[in-house]
Copies of this chain bind each other. A is one copy, B any other.
Amino acid sequence: MKVKKEIEISELINHIGERVTVHGSIYKIRKMKGFYFCRLRTARDVIQCVCDRQELMERLKEEACVRVTAEVVKEERAKTGVELHILSAVILSRPLENMPVVINQKEMNTSLENKLNFRPLTLRNEKERAIFRIQEGILRGFRRFFEEEHFVEIHTPKIVYAGAEGGANIFRLDYFGREAYLAQSPQFYKQMMVGVFERVYEVGPVFRAEKHDTARHLNEYTGVDFEMGYIESFREIMETEVKMLCHGLDMLSREYTRELELLEVRLPELPEGFDTNAPSAVGTIPVLKFAEAKELLAQELGLGAAEREHSLACHDFEPEEEKLLSEIIRRRTGSEFLFVTHYPAAKRPFYVMEDPENPEETLSFDLIFRGLEITTGGQRIHDYEMQVEKMRRRGMNMESFESYLMMHKHGMPPHGGLGLGLERFTARLLNFDNVRQAALFPRDIHRLTP
């Protein structure tokens, strides 16, 4: 009787001399004198194999899918400490043509454009696919955190009747003769669900019809959103984010060391505990008010009074300012993260809570990581009259928001939350210049395929 037992690749070292069956794709073949080197790509690893059966190896092509029977042999130069001596192979499928791009070198020596054009193939490269294992790991860590903290996972509609962020950056579609939109965020729905479950989270697609063609923008990305009720201060949201990030990074450092090594990733340090009494930090992440951050930039750049005023008046940071700010903070404190709070009300959406001490500022924040904004969050208005008054001031059409305002009218706790861009976080974690490198099948103003 044959007994099948599944063993992890990393455990092969304990099976020296035994016969195993492994399936995977032929990643690379190299003909030597009297034998062949072969690398077999399995679900998570690339295994070093040798074979001296010429008639067999000549039938195998790179990217053929095979099931091989092999002997486990000790080989100290291999990463796993073993190599497989192939005895026989069943060919499950054969490629029709040679690859249009070389994918089996350690580094993919091709343009990003080419990588993306041939995505179904280039993702087979061991480093390329490792990016998305890491992305999976981040999310597994986040999800573990959400479960521990009693956040309920929700799935809210992506075809919507009104945009949360407003403006022109919204995709329109025909919905059985009516105009509908693609959700710019689950904002309205996650707020409504705070009235139901107190704490909710959602991971899903977010659509932005932005015409920017930059290294930071995607027109569809994966939003990690949470929203929590009964907060006493908007700092609680920042504290919650820090814990969430810690869980993500912790998951990577425990279960994704293979991929971290392969991509030579250095994880940022994050605090275990949180000193919420520190006046200008959440945990060990420095916190600056928007105006303070602008002042810091002005000092660094040696701006004159007129330039300072102009910079403050734009109510946001230029990408270059974010980078510089991040660099200054890293230099001074060692932190690669930075919270900027109290953004001007003028540039934040209508649902954002204003600071009672200064209504021109909001109880909102961005998290900047390695020079790039990866999160926007803050406290929301929960009082009906305050919300309606603000909408009136902005000249908004109240009727479109009837079902949104329903929750305010019938009692909502103080609440807030945030949205994190999964591709942006992944990209900065891996020190990629372009967010597209961390998007499985990116959508931008020019790209709709694959």
Binding site for B on A (CB under 8 A): 23, 25, 42-44, 61, 63-65, 67, 92-97, 99, 118-121, 123-124, 129, 132-133, 136, 139-140, 143, 147, 150, 152-161, 171-176, 178, 180, 182, 189, 192-193, 195-199, 203-205, 207, 209, 211, 219-220, 222, 229-230, 382-385, 402-404, 406-414, 422, 440-441, 443, 445, 448-450
> 22 pairs across A/B with beta carbons < 8 Å?
A44-B150, A64-B411, A65-B230, A92-B230, A93-B411, A96-B385, A96-B408, A120-B195, A120-B404, A120-B406, A120-B407, A121-B410, A129-B196, A140-B147, A155-B205, A157-B205, A158-B220, A159-B207, A172-B174, A176-B211, A192-B450, A193-B440
- Given known pairs A143-B143, A230-B23, the reply for A99 and B440 (CB within 8 Å) is no
* Chain B neighbourhood of A152, CB < 8 A: 132-133, 136
Task: A199 to B450: give the CA distance in the assembly, Å.
Answer: 20
Taking a contact as CB atoms under 8 Å apart, the answer to whether A443 and B157 are in contact is: yes
Q: Which of A42, A408, A445, A450 gathers the greatest number of chain B CB atoms within 10 Å?
A: A450
Taking a contact as CB atoms under 8 Å apart, the answer to whether B93 and A161 are in contact is: no
- Given known pairs A42-B198, A173-B172, the reply for A411 and B63 (CB within 8 Å) is yes
Taking a contact as CB atoms under 8 Å apart, the answer to whether A414 and B92 are in contact is: yes
* Chain B neighbourhood of A67, CB < 8 A: 230
Copies of this chain in its oligomeric complex: 2
Taking a contact as CB atoms under 8 Å apart, the answer to whether A155 and B440 are in contact is: yes
Task: A133 to B204: give the CA distance in the assembly, Å.
Answer: 18
Taking a contact as CB atoms under 8 Å apart, the answer to whether B136 and A99 are in contact is: no
- Given known pairs A136-B152, A220-B159, the reply for A403 and B96 (CB within 8 Å) is no
Taking a contact as CB atoms under 8 Å apart, the answer to whether A158 and B65 are in contact is: no
Task: A159 to B448: give the CA distance in the assembly, Å.
Answer: 8
Taking a contact as CB atoms under 8 Å apart, the answer to whether A173 and B171 are in contact is: yes
Q: Measured between C-beta atoms, what is the minimum distance from A111 to chain B in Å? A: 17
Taking a contact as CB atoms under 8 Å apart, the answer to whether B94 and A192 are in contact is: no
**Cβ-closest chain B residue relative to A422:** B155
- Given known pairs A133-B152, A152-B133, the reply for A123 and B448 (CB within 8 Å) is no
Task: A136 to B406: give the CA distance in the assembly, Å.
Answer: 25
Taking a contact as CB atoms under 8 Å apart, the answer to whether B441 and A189 are in contact is: yes
Please pick, from B25, B230, B408, B414, the residue contacting A411 in the complex, using a CB distance under 8 A. Answer: B25
Taking a contact as CB atoms under 8 Å apart, the answer to whether A413 and B65 are in contact is: yes
Task: A140 to B154: give the CA distance in the assembly, Å.
Answer: 12
